[in-house]
Structure 1
Amino acid sequence: MIKTYLQLLGFVCFYLSVQSVLMAQSITLSGYVRDTRTGESLIGATIFNTNQKIGTTTNTYGFYSLTMQKADTLGFVFSMVGYEPQLKKITGQNSLSLTIALAESARQLDEVRISATRNYQNVSAPQMGVIDVPMKQIKTLPAVLGERDVLKIIQLLPGVQAGQEGTTGFFVRGGNTDQNLVQLDEATVYNPNHLFGLFSTFNTNALKNVSLIKGGFPAQYGGRLSSILDISMKDGNNQKSAVSGGIGLLTSNLTIEGPLKKDKSSYIVSARRTYVDLLAKPFLGGTNYYFYDLNAKFNFWLSKKDRLFISGFTGLDNAAYTGANSLNYGINFGNNTATIRWNRQFSSKLFTNTSVILNDYHLNLSTIQNNYYAQVYSGIRDLNAKFDLEYYPNHRHKINAGVNYSDNTFFPSSTSTKIPKSGIFKVVKSDSIPRQYSTVWAFYANDEIKASDNLSLNIGLRLPTFTRSGTSYSFIEPRLNIKYSLNPTTSIKAAYTEMNQFVHLVPSSTASLPTDIWISSGPTVKPQNSRQIALGLFKNFENNAYETSVEAYYKTMQNQVLFREGTQPLLSNQLEKLLVFGNGNSYGIEFFVKKNVGKLTGWVSYTLSKTTQQFDSLNFSNPFPFTYDKRHNLSVAATYEFNKKWTFAANFVFTSGGAFTMPTGRIPVFQDGSLYDGTYSDYTTRNNYRFRPYHRLDVSAILHKPNRKFFKKNYDGEWVFGIYNLYSRRNPYFVYLATDPITKVPQAKEVSLLPIIPSVSYNFKF
């Protein structure tokens, strides 16, 4: 034992001495890359050493670090798609801190190409299953009623299934919506939707970067099984004040940003509100609906090495309906987040971030129909503290490590009952709902290693521990990504990931529960678990102007949650007793082709997949299709810059029909006091029918009006004209049973939601 210890100690000493020699022969270039006009930090900008043919990219805060061998003179190219590349030469004898400002490209029509300046990360990085969504596409591709929407664009990516017609819900590689971790400046957004899912809660004018991770998760991410949607807010213009906004058919938005102290601090405030309630009230007196969202962020350079961010978000939906047909409902839901982050650059190679995050989410929905009343309440409050570090030993290593603590409070409850003759029934109040308290600790380490010019690895380990009511779960989550380059433009990648999830969104299965409920793991409800393997081929063409990839995956999921068949919850928060647990598996192959430059840009994605679930207490223990199991999924998104004034865009979607359950018969039960009004349906198998295939074409045209005048002030304006569902395809929304008035035989009726919808909006920027 002592001999082994001495051998290990000797090896460590030898390794450290070799590293010291190498360090003495090397220098480090570090700093930040920013936008010249706004001072915004640029995420994913490329820094390339033209002498030694090595490079790196900026992190989430625009920081980079590149260690290389000393030389008399070293040349660098700083670049990012959509920006003019910048060339720099430095004396390569001493380490240097260098902040670079890049200017946006005026046009991409006749762009001069410089070797190795384009973003080659999709081929060279070991991580797979990552797609950065260009903000340009988000702002130009058509959407419902002209509302620019992040989540609508996410639905066009490979491996992502859309939810119901017109909604922003998305399902990644066979997982449910709760298996997607949606983060805004590191704060979890539990319900990223407005207007029953028609729009997302994210105002695109306040956003800087959107990235989707659907496989090969780095160790710093955890707590969800299927995807990470990482959204970063703008820091605010630290050069000059700016005002932008838009006026649409349903909403208006306004964004104000500027420096508190030029180059040192800035702010951005962005607000949006709908006026559906004002427009609909004269025509639909019993209906009232409005939503709003507000983003705010402040950032301060405390010193050359210290930076402080304070950001917040609040959003609310409120709706009520009072009908003459004895149907009444009220719904109120919203998200509130607050984030404080401190960046510290300890050296040219060590960068840290410390975050404190608050989340608050609630949903309260109640319905009255005839003599029956139902209410559901779901609330979550989180307090998170995180510490993350990034260490860059040399150009062949990038080390991430950190710790995350989360204190969570859940208060779910539901009720469904017949209204007593007195007309007085018990209403669920949030203050009276018993709380469920839990904590999560997670430690992680991740090393991105360039073993050779062809072989790179990303090796990670995450150790989460969950505790609630004396019950504790601890896991070891290995993460491995391997990349092998066949040539500079082609690589093969493989990934293995284990994930665990301690929160569950239980889908409603009866009329008594009109929405879903968040619950926590505990003694009865075990954490969800997944294991995923993936293999991909990545190839770029014409100096990375075209990106292509093929990815195949297989994923297993344990401890999935559903309500028991026919469940009618009473007034109680003990929902765990009403649940059943099962497993699922999903596999598929994804094709992706993307064009980055030129007049015509965009992508084509196609996914062939299958997802099934199996519960011992459901469907006679037989496997059944997942509700959003859609075998074929094709998306085409394109933007065409016709000239300086006109930009045209379109997207086309085709998917196979999703699965749903229909009864094979009905059984009358007289004098029954349930919500089913004395008629029970007879079901044989779960998800035994399929909707018709879904397809839709959307188009838009943008008329740019630069250098306009308003009270002697210059501003840029643009008109956005759009048509959603151009050929008015009557896509299925849901199917219900109705009794034929003549034959008295039940018949299936299909309901379509959104026909052709034209839109027009006006955007401006001072």
Structure 2
Amino acid sequence: MKCFNPLLILLLIWPVLLVQAQTASITGIVLDEDNNPLPNVNITSENSGTFSDADGFYLLEVRADSEITVTFTHLGHKDVVLEKLILTTNETYAFNPVMKTDAIQVDGVVVTPTGERSVEGIVTLTPEIVQKIPGANAGVENVLKLLPGVFSNNELSTQYAVRGGNYDENLVYINDIEVYRPFLVRSGQQEGLSFVNSSMVQGLKFSSGGFQSQYGDKLSSVLDITYKTPTRFELQAEGSLLGAGATLETISKSKNFSSLSGVRYRDNSLFVNSQQTTTNFNPAFADLQSYLTYRFSSKVHLNFLGNFSINNYRNRPLTRQTNFGTITDPQALLVFYEGQEKNTYTTTMGALKADYFVNDELNLKLISSLYHTREEEYSDIIAQYELAEIETNLGSENLGEVTSSRGVGSQFNRARNDLDALILNIAHKGQQARNGSVWKWGVKYTYEDIRDQIRESEFIDSAGFSIRPPRSEFVNNQPEEAFDAPIVPFEGLSARNFVRTNRYSAYLQFSKQLEWQRADLYYNLGIRAQHWTVNGEGITRTSHSIFSPRGQFAIKPDWKKDMLFRFAAGWYQQPPFYRELRDATGTVQPGVKAQRSIHFVLGNEYSFELWNRPFKLVSEGYYKKLSNVNAYTLEDVRIRYRADNNAKAFAYGFDLRLNGAFVPGTESWISLGFLRTEENIEDRGYISRPTDQRLKLGILFQDYIPTIPNLRMYLNLQYSTGVPGGSPSYADPYIFQNRLRDYRRADLGISHIFVGANKKYPKGHWLHGFKELNAGFEIFNMFNNQNSITNTWVRDVDSKQQFAIPNFMTSRVLNLKIQVRL
């Protein structure tokens, strides 16, 4: 951890003496007892106020980062009072009050700089954090990686693993609509853009385990995103050396129709050119996304989410030199390339969601979505490599250069992979709330149609001889006896699969909030069920069924200290998706069962004030017992499963997170996590799983200069111990248990706010039309640490042994950035 400057840590306790007032917004529609819009409602908070329009719509600007009270009054109706509200700067809080003949006291709604308190154990993050914090892949996933229990050591990837799971074990929803990732991506630099457009996000909730039955059948986590509900016309645009994007918000004059649209373009060349491999790199990552809402009435809303994304990855590697080994035995890998990679990932998604608000107690939803992806991986790469010793004499002019060769060889990798996947979902969800009790239910049908052709081969050569596979049919007595069999790859994979899956799932859960001996109690009990059938060409029709009971319990004692205790337990099962059904030969195994995991989570939440500002300390301990485990190998972000369910595993650890307003008007946090996860394959003994990240420290810090409050700093620091370095595809993981070096990274962003909430310009000034204008720079990997994500496996042509050559990630990179909002 030598990369951490103690001065940066001391900044966390630096009191700020000067702070200017910040603002937030409260918006919504005021309804009467019959759920009709109520006009001319007086809404007040301290010195600010407004009225609802003819459609009941209102927008109120309030003071941020301190406790306020908002009151709704209207002739002939009793007041509605919203108390103990703390909003962050520039936050938009949605509140739709129903004004009745009896007084309503909406008490205890506490929204702090950490987000809304949640007894369900879900972390809530503000959109400002998501949009402002620097990172190589800035956005939602960039912030998640700073949370305890979330693992990712690949800054070019948006994928993450949670508490010992892998990248396929996480659920992602946008406005109740489940979203998917491409199937064939094998390296972070091929990914491009995350599905989630951070500029469109209004709310973000994340659970790292023990989540409710209303969420789907995955083993590890849930990311629940809410996109904005536009309240006025607004245009936001940003540009940097990494790409550009724009987001447009509109709303009709009648407030019945609103649209939220975003377009993005990204170019990873800045990062890839800082890596070891010299390449001609020509990527093009772009997407277009829209969320449309039409309100037929106050009771019926229709929403549409559409997305089109194209990732064109063109890479022509040229050379590479990687120095590795130890001080006493330094080595180098020199590679000269010919050929190129041409990969294309095109995804399209459309979803319709209808909301029917029967009354203020009953809400019904009907959701349908269609996801289509076409993916092509075409590559022909010839790598001529040399394993060599390097000069270590500090006084030598050839320091770091090759002195003698250990062996030379060549490797030809060829891929012709095509995948076409269609996923259809039709679902109904409902919720009824009455007298402190809430029933939630849902049913869903999913149809998956996967058409996959995989053709991969690896040829290795030494001194003009093609090395044959180490199988008995290829044993020969060369050169004494001639051997005229055809040339075959040392490793090869060829398969063609047409797989169809029909899934039926349902859930039912009941939650209740009550008071017991002056303590607030909350509990949630639920169950999920799923039945699925796998069939296709040459595949035996196979059916499976699972049941998953889950429960959460929370208690807030009547203590002077603001404490909340939580306990969650459940039986979580993950039915196999297509990739989990495919074994080492590319053959689909329809008999693969759902992986099972029993979760036990015990947590505590302590809210307190420090320096007259809100803080919260969240601590959780967890244990997961896994069975029917589908073991896998991991190379970069590429996962390949054994498809045999013949392993068992466990994971346990603890997470700590302290967050709050270390500096007024900002949110910062320190997180610490410990994890141990191991698996036992075929009773051979327990070994570390590929995501066994033992210790992790994450720091997110925001600050500004007291005398120049519009000059902002955003800093994130990460440290984690090394994980197992992966293994060649489908190789025996018991042989490959060496760990990577510790991961250290610091990203810094400096931004100057020319126009913002506290800096406006009068009419006639050229900046008057801007609501926000800021510009600055970012330094990624500020201390230029040499981090590795996994290994490249190179064969010694003499012994056929594979050497683990670290794949080092990006070095220090400077990025310039500008952002405007109209």
- The match for 1:725 among 777, 781, 796 is 781
Stretch moving more, 633-642 or 432-441: 432-441
Q: Which residue of 2 aligns with 1:651?
A: 716
Q: 1:473 to 1:736 in 2, by over 3 A?
A: closer
| Aligned ranges 1:568-717 → 2 under 5 Å | 581-596=646-661, 598-616=664-682, 621-642=684-705, 643-660=708-725, 685-706=734-755, 707=760, 713-714=769-770, 716-717=772-773
Residue 738 (structure 1) shift: 6.4
Describe how 1:77-156 pairs up with structure 2 within 5 A: 77=83, 79=85, 81-82=87-88, 93-94=101-102, 117-119=110-112, 125-128=118-121, 130-144=122-136, 148-156=138-146
TM-score normalized with structure 1 length: 0.75
* Alignment deviations for residues 589-614 of structure 1 (CA, whole Å, 9 cap, x no partner): 11111104724521111111101122
Aligned residue number for residue 441 of structure 2: 401
Residue identity matched to 1:475? I
Separation in 2, partners of 1:50, 1:39: 16
Question: Shift of residue 659 of structure 1?
Answer: 0.6
> Which residue, out of 617, 623, 626, partners 1:548?
617
Identify if the C-alpha distance between structure 1 residues 385 and 253 changes in structure 2 by more than 3 Å, giving closer, same or farther. same
Q: 1:90 to 1:455 in 2, by over 3 A?
A: closer
Q: Deviations over 1:571-629 (max 9, x none)?
A: xxxx999756422211001111110472452111111110112221xxx7222111121
Distance 1:606 1:39, change over 3 A: farther
Q: Give, in whole Å, the separation in 1 of the partners of 2:425 and 2:118.
A: 30
Aligned twin of 1:332: 344
Quote the offset at 1:134 in angstroms.
1.4
Q: Which amino acid aligns with 1:476?
A: F
1:413 to 448, 453, 459: 453
Select which of 211, 215, 219 maps to 1:221: 215
Residue equivalent to 2:360: 348
Question: Is the CA contact (8 Å cut-off) linking 1:155 and 1:170 kept in structure 2?
Answer: yes
Residues 632, 252 of structure 1: alpha-carbon distance in 2 compared, 3 angstrom cutoff: same
Q: Distance in 2 between matches of 1:650 and 1:586?
A: 31
What's the secondary structure of 1:136's corresponding residue? helix
Partner SS state of residue 146, structure 2: coil
Matching residue of 2:167: 177
Q: Report the counterpart of residue 820 of structure 2 in structure 1.
A: 764
For the Cα contact (< 8 Å) 1:600–1:640, is it kept in 2? yes
1:265 equivalent among 230, 245, 257: 257
8 Å contact kept, 1:409–1:438: no
Q: CA deviation at 1:391?
A: 1.2
Offset at residue 486 of structure 1 (A):
2.5
**Aligned counterpart, 2:542:** 471
Residue-by-residue CA offset, 1:78-112 (whole Å, 9 max, x unaligned): 8352269999999974488x9x9xxxxxxxxxxxx
In the other structure, the counterpart of 1:67 is: none
Q: State whether residues 110 and 117 of structure 2, in contact with CA within 8 Å, keep that contact through their aligned partners in structure 1.
A: no
Cα drift, residue 148 of structure 1: 3.0
Q: Which amino acid aligns with 1:558?
A: S
Match of 2:248 among 244, 256, 269: 256
Q: Name the CA distance, whole Å, in 2 between partners of 1:480 and 1:337.
A: 33
The reply to whether residue 531 of structure 1 matches residue 598 of structure 2 is: yes
Residue number in structure 1 paired with 2:555: 484
* Distance across 2 between alignment mates of 1:602 and 1:196: 31
1:153-209: CA deviation from partner (whole Å, max 9, x where unpaired):
111112111143543221111111100012233333332798434653433212222
**Alignment match of 1:315 (pick from 303, 309, 315):** 309
How many Å apart are 1:634 and its aligned residue?
0.6
SS at match of 1:491: strand
* Secondary structure of 1:152's aligned partner: helix
Distance 1:684 1:695, change over 3 A: closer
For 2:292 and 2:340, locate their aligned partners in 1 and report how far apart those are by CA, in whole Å: 42
Residue equivalent to 1:63: none
Aligned amino acid, residue 200 of structure 2:
A
Cα deviation digits, residues 521-563 of structure 1 (max 9, x gap)? x632111221101111111002881111110111122333346
Q: Any idea what SS the aligned residue of 2:141 has?
A: helix
Moved more, 186-195 or 695-704: 186-195
SS of the residue corresponding to residue 630 of structure 2 reads strand
Q: Is the aligned partner of 1:390 residue 2:431?
A: yes
Give the superposition deviation at 1:727.
1.1
Q: Which residues of structure 2 form unaligned runs of 5+?
A: 1-31, 44-48, 71-76, 319-336, 383-411, 460-484, 536-540
Q: Is the 8 A contact 2:35 2:298 kept in 1?
A: no
Find the counterpart in structure 2 of residue 106 from structure 1: none
Contact 2:78/2:102 (8 A) holds in 1:
no
Q: Which position in structure 1 is the counterpart of 2:504?
A: 440
**CA spacing shift, 1:749–1:340, aligned 2, 3 Å:** closer
Mapped to 1, the partners of 2:152 and 2:110 lie a distance apart of 35
Are the structure 2 counterparts of residues 354 and 79 from structure 1 closer, same or farther at C-alpha, using a change threshold of 3 Å?
Answer: farther
Query: 1:437-463: CA deviations, max 9, x gaps?
Result: 322232323323425343221111222
Measured against aligned partners, the alpha-carbon deviations of 1:646-681 in whole angstroms (never above 9, x if no partner) come to 111111111000112579xxxxxxxxxxx9xxxxx9
Q: Distance in 1 between matches of 2:95 and 2:315?
A: 61
2:629 aligned partner: 560
Listed one character per residue, the Cα deviations across residues 33-66 of structure 1 (whole Å, up to 9, x for unaligned) are: 9999997999xx9xx9999xxxxxxxxxxxxxxx
What is the rounded CA distance, in whole Å, between the counterparts of 1:745 and 1:474 in structure 2? Answer: 43
- For the residue of structure 2 that corresponds to 1:439, the secondary structure is strand
**Do the aligned partners of 1:552 and 1:589 also contact (CA within 8 Å) in 2?**
yes
Give 1:755's aligned amino acid. S
Alpha-carbon spacing, 1:625–1:161, altered in 2? closer, same or farther (3 Å): same
Structure 1 unaligned blocks of 5 or more? 1-26, 52-70, 101-113, 567-574, 664-674, 676-680
* Aligned-residue offset at 1:376: 3.2
Corresponding residue SS for 2:190: helix
- CA offset at residue 500 of structure 1? 1.8
Maintained 8 Å contact 1:448/1:459: no
TM-score by length of 2: 0.70
Query: Percent identical across equivalent pairs?
Result: 18
Alpha-carbon distance in structure 2 between the residues aligned to 1:124 and 1:565? 37
Kindly provide the CA deviation profile for residues 400-421 of structure 1, in whole angstroms up to 9, marking residues without a partner as x: 1222221222233322247999
CA 1:421–1:190: 2 relative to 1, 3 Å: farther
Equivalent in the alignment of 1:667: none
| Aligned residues: CA RMSD | 4.7
Residue type matched to 2:527 in 1?
L
Aligned position for 1:200 = 194
SS at match of 1:545: strand
Matched residues in 2 for 1:334 and 1:89: separation? Answer: 43
- The change in CA–CA distance for 1:422 and 1:277 in structure 2 (over 3 A counts) is farther
How big is the shift at 1:258?
Answer: 1.1
Q: Distance in 1 between matches of 2:596 and 2:267?
A: 42
C-alpha contact 2:579 2:641 (8 A) present in aligned 1: no
* 1:502 to 1:335, Cα distance in 2 relative to 1, 3 A: farther
Looking at structure 1, the residues matched to 271 and 704 of structure 2 have their Cα atoms a distance apart, in angstroms, of 35
**CA displacement at 1:75 relative to structure 2:** 4.2
Equivalent residue letter for 2:345: F
Distance 1:659 1:563, change over 3 A: closer
Q: Distance in 2 between matches of 1:137 and 1:338?
A: 28
Query: For the structure 1 residues 267 and 730, does the alpha-carbon distance in structure 2 shift closer, same or farther, using more than 3 Å as the test?
Result: same
